[in-house]
Amino acid sequence: MWQQERLRRIVREPALVAILGSVTTIAACGVSGPVSKFTAVLADDVQCRTSSDNTVAPMPGTSLSFTREGADTAGVIVSFVGNWTNPSGGGPASGAFIFLEIDGQRQDTTSTNGGVLASPGLSNTVGNGTHGFNFVTNPLPPGDHMARILWADNVLNGTGTICVAERSLVVYHD
């Protein structure tokens, strides 16, 4: 049931989504353009969060500056990948939604509509694996920009702890 409600938040046009116990159709959009540069950051320390209020906060080690060149506005692609480790004392009801923020604003449809579940937080396993997402942004003007990943923990209404170890953020731009 919570998946259906979350999907309604993500896709605000009911005609675009058919829910018959599971998602069968989702609206898609596409963009294209040249990518001549990338800017990346890598962090390899372990960061954990335990919170029962689902606060959204910056994820340490996932901020970077990049410069969009050219004369026109254009979208960029931002890739995030994280190795979600097994937290000590965590529970099966912890998880993490991630969001992209550029220049202090959510600049893509996924982040604006509730983020993406990057880790289910099943801490009864060796680890939760490596999960990532590619964000496609709205058009950005040329110039200097700051990208960062935000995360909210315990999205499954639990009291567990969610941890991320190695993680990278890559911005593909012109």
Same domain, 8 and 67: no
Q: What is the pLDDT of residues 106-158, one digit of tens each?
A: 989 888 888 888 766 555 556 677 888 999 999 999 999 999 999 987 666 65
Same domain, 120 and 36: yes
Whether 153 contacts 57, CB under 8 Å: no
Same domain, 160 and 91: yes
What's the domain count of the chain?
Answer: 2
Same domain, 123 and 150: yes
Query: Where are the extended beta strands (E) located within the chain?
Result: 18-19, 23-25, 37-43, 47-49, 56-68, 77-85, 96-102, 116-119, 127-136, 143-153, 162-173
Same domain, 45 and 65: yes
Q: Classify 16 as helix, strand or coil.
A: helix
167, pLDDT greater than 60: yes
* pTM of the predicted structure, to 2 decimals: 0.76
Same domain, 158 and 102: yes
Quote the domain boundaries for residue 113: 31-173
Same domain, 109 and 133: yes
How many other CB atoms sit within 10 Å of the CB of residue 135? 25
Taking the C-alpha atoms of residue 79 and residue 17, their distance in angstroms, rounded to an integer, is 26
Same domain, 147 and 124: yes
Same domain, 59 and 110: yes
Angle subtended at Cα 101 by Cα 95 and Cα 103, rounded to the nearest 5 degrees: 160
Backbone angles phi, psi at 110, to 5 degrees: -60, -50
Same domain, 20 and 101: no
pLDDT at 104: 95
Same domain, 92 and 150: yes
Same domain, 10 and 76: no
